[in-house]
Amino acid sequence: MNKKINWMSPYSLTESIDNIKDAVSSSWISNGKYILKFENQLSSLLKVKNIITVNNGTAALQLCYLTLGLKEGDEVIVPAYGYMAAANVALQIGLKVKFADIEKDTLCICPHSIDQIASKNTKAVVAIHTYGNICDMDRILKLKEKYNFLVIEDVAEAIGSKIYSKFAGSFGDAATFSFHAAKTFTTGEGGAVIIKNIKLFKKAKILRNQGCENIKYKHIYPGGNFRMSNVLAAIGCSQINLFNKIKKIRTRIQNFYRSQLKDSKNITLQYFKKNVQPLIWCFVIIAKTERTKKEIVKIFNQNNIETREGFYSSNRLKYIKKQKNLKNSDFASKNVICLPTHPNLSKEEILKITSLIKKYDFHNSSNI
């Protein structure tokens, strides 16, 4: 049987062993020196201030909503195609969620769609930088001025991506990150939050720690336990030291995929607008028909190649009320294929993956 090609694989976790041993031997498991060190490294890497670590990317979103004062009944706009954590957390705390469509080519939230559904009641827009692309922040920030809403960047899939030489996460009122095992670099589980307003940033630090500040058991806010563990931060410190290597390898993988598939007839590739310098989390192809997607996925399965299908759009989830005018999101949901994308992927493995797509093109040229 063919050797399996994994969809995701973390890079060089053995580099973390010394840090992990040090964190465990210090007896500081929940808290400790690696928390602050990792936060400082993140701040330096992204050239931002006011960043704190949390225990996962979903907790980052929840802490962000709580810090910004979003409350039951407030209206928030999220993309109809994208990982649903931002919508799920909003629904859990009683926010009214509206879904904006995405741009068909970038797979990111569409500013025109935001403009169509926003109102004076809109308190926040979550811009998910899908697969490592960056949303059209210029237009979104103009809409912020028009409607006076908060902008939250979900950077879980785009840490290290840039536009106008500024990192994703630098544009909004707040930003959230994930360091899950499948992300660009990992702490195992973990996340981070940027809050630009210094007063609110101080509030976020208190909310992260059960709502307590300086006195044990004296709660200032109804907070939660959003803390990252010292052991996970220790992994993060070693992983972030490898960031430039990871970036170089991922960029090479993206460019090689694109060079091999640029002339494919049955698929299209995610589009990056001018001035976007993506550090992709995942390389995706967009099949021109749902039938094509199913046939390509079947071929990959037969060849022991692990893939992921696109996110389920909001209209395809039973617990969410259907909306009109989400055709791009629904199309992407049915036609995107996420190819293996990780630093341990070899050139030969990419050639195998792309050759199967080319072979499919050759045998199905009559469909074009």
Ranges for all domains in the chain classified under CATH 3.40.640.10: 13-241
Q: Does position 281 have pLDDT exceeding 70, yes or no?
A: yes
pLDDT of residue 132: 97
Tens of pLDDT, residues 232-264: 999 999 999 999 999 999 999 999 999 999 999
**Cα dist. 323→99, 117, 123 in Å?**
8, 11, 20
Mean pLDDT in the chain? 94
Stretch 20-33: mean pLDDT, rounded? Answer: 82
Which stretches of the chain are DSSP H helices?
A: 17-25, 33-46, 57-67, 85-92, 111-117, 137-147, 198-208, 230-241, 243-261, 290-302, 327-335, 347-363
Q: Does position 81 have pLDDT exceeding 60, yes or no?
A: yes
CATH class of 243-367: alpha beta
Percent of the chain residues topping a pLDDT of 70 = 99
Classify each residue of 146-177 as buried b or exposed e, where b means 16 or more C-beta atoms within 10 Å of its C-beta: ebebbbbbbbbbbbbbbbeebbbbbbbbbbbb
Task: For residues 26 and 230, give the distance between their C-alpha atoms in angstroms, rounded to a whole number.
Answer: 10
pLDDT of residue 124: 98
Q: Does position 118 have pLDDT exceeding 90, yes or no?
A: yes
Nearest residue to 168 (alpha-carbon basis) of 182, 183, 153 = 153
pLDDT of residue 365: 67
- Residue 217 has which token pair? 């058991």
**Cα dist. 343→11, 129, 254 in Å?**
6, 20, 11
Angle ∠(85,65,119) on CA atoms, nearest 5: 90
Which stretches of 75-229 are DSSP H helices?
A: 85-92, 111-117, 137-147, 198-208
pLDDT of residue 316: 97
Task: Tell the CATH topology of 13-241.
Answer: Aspartate Aminotransferase; domain 2 (3.40.640)
Q: Does position 366 have pLDDT exceeding 90, yes or no?
A: no
Q: Does position 368 have pLDDT exceeding 70, yes or no?
A: no
Q: Does position 219 have pLDDT exceeding 70, yes or no?
A: yes
Nearest residue to 99 (alpha-carbon basis) of 311, 272, 286, 308 = 311
Tens of pLDDT, residues 45-73: 999 999 999 999 999 999 999 999 999 99
Tokens 């990056």 identify what position?
272
Ranges for all domains in the chain classified under CATH 3.90.1150.10: 243-367
Q: Does position 324 have pLDDT exceeding 80, yes or no?
A: yes
Tens of pLDDT, residues 94-109: 999 999 999 999 999 9
